[in-house]
Amino acid sequence: MKRNKTIIIGLILATLFLVIYPKKGEALYFNLYDLSTNKTEYYTYETIEIHSNWTYYFSEEEFGFVQIQIFNESGTILWVSQEYSNRSTYMDINLNVSLGDLNYKFDKPQDLLDVKLFIFYDDGERIISTFQETVQVTIFSSGVFNFSMQIDKESYQYYDTLILYSSWYLLHNSIYETANLSFQLRDKNQNIVWISDLFSFIGADSCLLSINFSILDLELNESYNNFSMIAIYSNYNTFLNENSTTILNQVFFQIFSKNDFKIDLFDLSTDKIEYYHYETIEIHANWTYYYSEDEIGFVQIQILNEPGLILWTSQEYPNRSSYVDLNLNVSLSYLNYTFERPQDVLDVKLYIFNDDGEQMVSFYQESIRVKIFTSGVYNFSVQLNKDTYQYHDTCYL
């Protein structure tokens, strides 16, 4: 028993000796505790604040050092720190790198830089460098304005209310940047028929907005079957360079106002949103469709693939001013369509049709998108905690 204890103590002491005093030419011991920046997004006039701490062990007969470098996307070195050759000493450093002092011109609205930490070791024949950790930061040459907009449907009747949903995000630095946003509605001749209030904001918070306005209030002269569009203009100004940028988004929609018809759609749904190609889509819908006795109208449900090709249509339901509750079963294997990809999408759409004696017009009221799988889909990803390891490291998978 005493002999076993002696062997165990001897192994522990030998291990500590190898770690603290590695032999010349063997792997060194390096422990990186932190490499970080004060944030991940900067303007070109800002300063990157870098923090790092580590311990680097190597023997007195050997030479090694730590260095932090900054690279652009092409891999060109833009900046290097001093060499930190402190042996077997805990190091804690803070560095400030002014982007304006780099010998690099940021031509694009957005650039990426990599802040990398390297260890260097001289084995007596050459200096070997090993990359240990990296932090990627984004550099903006001006404010970045992210904007999205949608309306509640694509077709409206003259008595409808249009609901406009929008969200935006302005990346800025403190008080240096502001933005103004307004909405305009233009007819097919580009005439402005409605303009919203001016929305001003300062800050990087996400903004959400919902605007309701009545189609009747637009007073369109040629509104029947008239394709109009919503045009959105946005301007932002930065404190330093006083830039002004206009962003234009457009959403097209159709207005019907000649015929006095309308539909109250209560529900359009499917039993689920993901199917295998051999399954059956169960569709439920209910509505009431109002139109005059002098007109012809009906409701129809259609299934379209992603390019917009009609794969299936229901019968026509002409029930006038009557509540209709409908359940349909559509077998995917009976569609005249081959699902060749592992995953496809189909759109289940409900259309209303109306004939005023001059022409038959149609527009869809509601849509549901479903996914079709031809086989099981297995999504898998793997990553390591870093690119390089030493003999004593732990690999996290």
- Residue 348's domain comprises 262-373
The per-residue pLDDT for 303 is 94
pTM over 0.75: no
DSSP 8-state secondary structure symbol assigned to residue 175: T
Burial label for 389, CB within 10 Å (0-12, 13-18, 19+), is middle
- Note whether 69 and 180 are same-domain residues: no
Phi, psi of 8 (to 5 degrees): -65, -45
The per-residue pLDDT for 13 is 42
Residue 44 φ/ψ region, left for φ over 0, alpha for ψ in the -120 to 50 degree band, beta for the rest: alpha
The per-residue pLDDT for 85 is 84
Q: Which residues make beta-bridge pairs with 247?
A: 234
Q: How many domains would you assign to the chain?
A: 3
- Note whether 301 and 234 are same-domain residues: no
Instruction: Read off the tokens for 27.
Output: 């792997």
- Note whether 123 and 206 are same-domain residues: no
- Note whether 18 and 134 are same-domain residues: yes
Instruction: Read off the tokens for 184.
Output: 């305009």
Strands of 161-171's sheet in order across? 144-151, 161-171, 207-214
Tokens 């300062």: give the residue: 202
- Given a cut of 70, the residues of the chain with pLDDT beneath it are 1-28, 109, 142-146, 154-155, 157-159, 169-180, 187-189, 201-206, 216-262, 292, 294, 356-359, 361, 364, 375-382, 384-397
Strands of 274-276's sheet in order across? 274-276, 360-373, 343-355, 296-305, 310-313
CA 261 to chain centre: 40
The per-residue pLDDT for 210 is 80
The per-residue pLDDT for 26 is 44
- Note whether 94 and 155 are same-domain residues: no
Among 111, 140, 169, the domain boundary falls at 140
In a domain, 338, yes or no: yes
CA 34 to chain centre: 28
CATH of the domain at 178: 2.60.40
d(CA 131, CA 75): 13
Phi, psi of 320 (to 5 degrees): -90, 130
Quick one: how many helices (H) and strands (E) in the chain?
A: 1, 25
In a domain, 386, yes or no: no
- Note whether 22 and 134 are same-domain residues: yes
In a domain, 252, yes or no: no
